[in-house]
Amino acid sequence: MKTLGVVVVVLVVLSLLVLAMAVRIVKQYENGVLFRLGRVIGERQPGLRLIIPLIDVLHRISLRIVTMPIQSQGIITRDNVSVDVSAVAYFKVVDAVKSVVAIENVYSAIDQIAQTTLRKVVGQHTLDETLSETDKINLDIRAILDVTTIEWGVQVTLVELKDIQLPDSMKRAMARQAEAEREKRAKIIAAEGESLAAAALGDASDTMMAHPLALQLRNLQTLVELGVDKNSTVVFPAPLMSTIAELGNFLARENGAADRPEPQPPIPIPATVANGTPAAGHRP
């Protein structure tokens, strides 16, 4: 009886062990690839799956999108500028069987091919294109990667340039270029402002010439604005040319008056009578 009991216990333990080896759980985001005696039997969907111990091997492959950083690469652009460019790639497995059978380590392979593709694509562009056309470069890298990785059962969903490191000398040169560009814009804007101001002043001067009182009103307004500051002394320029002209006219009138003496009124002569005596009412 004791021997029978031991045998039963051993059988139960072996049954539990075999059952544990036969039961596999495939998660919702995974697919299982079943090998039987080294041959691919097929895929196994998520859920509880049973295999034959020691005969079947089940590889569980994640179907989630994988984020893979691409290490910074020293690249020489088409215009012979040395830059360090890093990127990030997003990919997912679309064929679990190919990702296991076609290549040994799909993650390492994608990492290596992404680095070489990054150097190849960026090296075909100039520095200005690399900085301004990142979207085009991202699409080019993704297209090249997809051609290779689709044979491995992997689809690259997105590639983005993450960082572009420039030499210090190039940074200083670009800073000078940006500063010169800003100065050019500032000078153009200032010149346009001067042109508009000159045109407006010309229109204002024409208006003041047509209406002389407008200039006087403007002068009075300026005096009022200066008087707000409570200054003890206010120096206000008068219309110089008109003042000089008026002063010249005044001096000319004065000189003309001095050269032509004004006629004196006639001296009244007293009336006399016939015999030579003064008339009545007149004193000698």
Among 62, 87, 117, give the residue marking a domain's end: 62
Q: Are residues 22 and 91 in the same domain?
A: no
**In the beta sheet, which residues pair with residue 42?**
34
Residue 212 lies in a domain: no
Q: Are residues 70 and 54 in the same domain?
A: no
Q: Are residues 45 and 115 in the same domain?
A: no
Q: Are residues 81 and 50 in the same domain?
A: no
Q: Are residues 22 and 71 in the same domain?
A: no
pLDDT at 284: 43
Residue 3 lies in a domain: no
**Which of 142, 136, 135, 165 is closest to 73 using CA atoms?**
165
Range of the domain at 21: 17-62
Among 132, 166, 200, give the residue marking a domain's end: 166
Question: Please, how many CA atoms are within 13 Å of residue 277, restricted to the half-sphere of its CB?
Answer: 3
Residue 274 lies in a domain: no
User: In CATH, what number is assigned to the domain containing residue 99?
Assistant: 3.30.479.30
Residue 232 lies in a domain: no
pLDDT at 260: 63
Q: Are residues 143 and 98 in the same domain?
A: yes
Q: Is 276 left (phi over 0), alpha (psi -120 to 50) or beta?
A: left
Residue 193 lies in a domain: no
User: DSSP letter string over 1-24?
Assistant: -HHHHHHHHHHHHHHHHHHHHHEE
Q: Are residues 99 and 141 in the same domain?
A: yes
Angstrom CA distances, 177 to 81, 83, 173, stand at 16, 19, 6
Q: Are residues 116 and 155 in the same domain?
A: yes
DSSP summary character for residue 278: B
Q: With cut-offs at 50, 70 and 90, classify the pLDDT of residue 208.
A: confident
Q: What are 82-112's pLDDT values in tens digits?
A: 899 999 999 999 999 998 988 888 889 999 9
Judge if pTM exceeds 0.85: no
**Which of 137, 130, 229 is closest to 174 using CA atoms?**
130
Buried b (16+ CB within 10 A) or exposed e, 152-180: bbbbbeebebeebebeeeeeeeeeeeeee
Q: Are residues 150 and 78 in the same domain?
A: yes
Average pLDDT rounded to a whole number, residues 32-51: 88
Task: State what percent of residues in the chain have pLDDT above 70.
Answer: 79
Please tell me the distance from the alpha carbon of residue 138 to that of residue 122, in angstroms, as a whole number.
Answer: 10
Residue 23 lies in a domain: yes
Residue 92 tokens read as: 């997912």
Among 142, 166, 190, give the residue marking a domain's end: 166
**Which of 56, 1, 63 is closest to 23 using CA atoms?**
56
Q: Are residues 32 and 123 in the same domain?
A: no
Q: What are 107-140's pLDDT values in tens digits?
A: 899 999 999 999 999 999 988 888 888 899 999 9
Q: With cut-offs at 50, 70 and 90, classify the pLDDT of residue 14.
A: confident
Residue 57 lies in a domain: yes
Residue 231 tokens read as: 């200054």
Q: What are 137-195's pLDDT values in tens digits?
A: 999 999 999 998 999 999 999 999 988 888 888 888 888 888 898 899 999 999 999 88
pLDDT at 281: 47
Task: State what percent of residues in the chain have pLDDT above 90.
Answer: 22
- pLDDT score of 242 more than 80: no
- pLDDT score of 1 more than 90: no
Q: Are residues 75 and 136 in the same domain?
A: yes
Q: Are residues 22 and 103 in the same domain?
A: no
Q: Could you give the number of structural domains in the chain?
A: 2
| Helix, strand or coil, per DSSP, at residue 74 | strand
Mean pLDDT of the chain, nearest integer: 81
Residue 239 lies in a domain: no
